[in-house]
Each structure stands twice: as structure tokens, then as C-alpha cells.
Structure 1
Amino acid sequence: MNIVLLPEILRQKLGDDGAKELVDIINASIKNAREHFTETSAEKIERRITETRADLEKQIAETKADLIKWMFLFWVGQVAVMVGVMSFFYNLIVHSK
């Protein structure tokens, strides 16, 4: 609960009931502002998390695609080297007879 102190002059002008009502209105306003701030903050945080997650998923997908591309190039290179080595040995064996 919020503690709101009214100056004595204001309390005298409003009376006890008026001062109590003013304090209640101020406290309710503060409570509503806090609730609104909390809801707004939570919505912003949730939206930011969702955006971040989407960005991460996109980056992971791009990384997977790049990884598959480089793996393919690596294996094609390995096959080419193996064919070259086997061809070299085949030619070496065939021409040495």
C-alpha cells in the first residue's frame, strides 16, 4: 500500500473524508499505472523474445544450408582426389608391364 501524506492545509480544506478520498484516488491511480506498466513491459519482453527466437531460427537455418553446401563441396573434392590417385596408380601399373 502506498503512503501518501497530505499537507495539513490541504487536509483541513478537504476535511477528513475528502483527504481520505483524495489519497484513495491517488493510490488507485498509482496502482493502475503500475499494472499498466507491468503489462506493457511483459508484452514488450514477450515480443522481443519472439523476435529474437525467429532471428535465431533463421540464422540456424542459414548455417545448416551453408554447412550442407560445404560438406557437399568437400566430398566432391575428396572423390576427385581419390579418382585422381586411383587413376595415377592404374596408369603406373598398366605402363610398368
Structure 2
Amino acid sequence: MAILTVPKVLREKLGDEGVEALIALLNEAAHHERNNLLGILEERFERRVTEEGKRLDNRIAEEVAKLDRRITEEVAKLDRRITEEVAKLDRRITEEVSRLEVTLSERYASLVRWMFIFWAGQIGVIVALFALLR
């Protein structure tokens, strides 16, 4: 706090008590003005902090919305890709199963053919044995 010096002329007119009262009044006025100024500055600061907080909240909300859209798009892309890959895998499995079924059918037909030839041979041998033994 600054030290006030009261001019000699004013000191002579007011006297010591008047000077002390004047200094106390000036100090009180300065203190009151300082408090008013601090109150005004505090209100301005609070308003700016509130405005910046709102602006920051809005920006965060916008960024979250952007990220949400981006994540949704990426998930949709992944879903499409997974669906495509599953379809490819399903087609391949179907093709392989069909190929295996054809192979098994061919093997079964070959086996039946050889069995028929064996039975025919066996019947021929049995008939020959009966003819020979008669």
C-alpha cells in the first residue's frame, strides 16, 4: 500500500485528527475500490471460464460424434468384409464337399464292380465244382 503524504497547507487547515480521518477515509475508499475491482475481475473471469468450458464441451461433443461416426463406418466395413469372407469360405467348403462326394461315388462304383466280378467268379467256381462232383 502506498504511503500518503498530506501537504502542509491541508494539514494546517484540517488539523492532526482531520488528516488522520482523511487518510483513513482515503484508505477505506481505496480498499473498497480494490474490492469492487476484484469483484468485477472475478465475475469476468468466471464468465470467461464458463464460456470456455461450454466451448470445450461443444468441441468435445463434436469430436466424440466424429469418432462415433468413424467407428460405425469401420465396423460396417469389417462386417461387410467378414460376410464376404464367410461367403467365400462357404462356397469353398461346398465345392470341396461336392468333390469328395463325387470321389466317394466313383470309389463305391469301382468297389461294387469288383465285388460283382468276384461274385460272378465265385458262382462260376461253385457251379464248376457241382458239375465236377456229379
Q: What is the TM-score with the length of structure 1 in the denominator?
A: 0.81
Q: Superposition pairs for residues 58-73 of structure 1, below 5 Å? A: 58-73=58-73
77-86 or 62-71, which deviates more: 62-71
Residue of structure 2 in register with 1:53 after alignment: 53
> What are the ranges of 5 or more consecutive residues in structure 2 without an aligned counterpart?
100-134
- Displacement of 1:22 after TM fit? 2.0
- Displacement of 1:51 after TM fit? 1.2
Residue of structure 2 in register with 1:13 after alignment: 13
Partners of 2:77 and 2:42 in 1: CA distance: 52
Name the % identity: 27
Partners of 1:92 and 1:66 in 2: CA distance: 39
> What are the ranges of 5 or more consecutive residues in structure 1 without an aligned counterpart?
none
Q: What is the TM-score with the length of structure 2 in the denominator?
A: 0.62
- C-alpha RMSD of matched pairs (Å): 2.0
Q: Superposition pairs for residues 1-97 of structure 1, below 5 Å? A: 3-96=3-96, 97=99
**CA distances 1:6-39 after superposition (whole Å, capped 9, x unpaired):** 1223212332233223212211210111110111
Higher normalized contact order (CA 8 Å, seq sep 6+, divided by chain length): 1
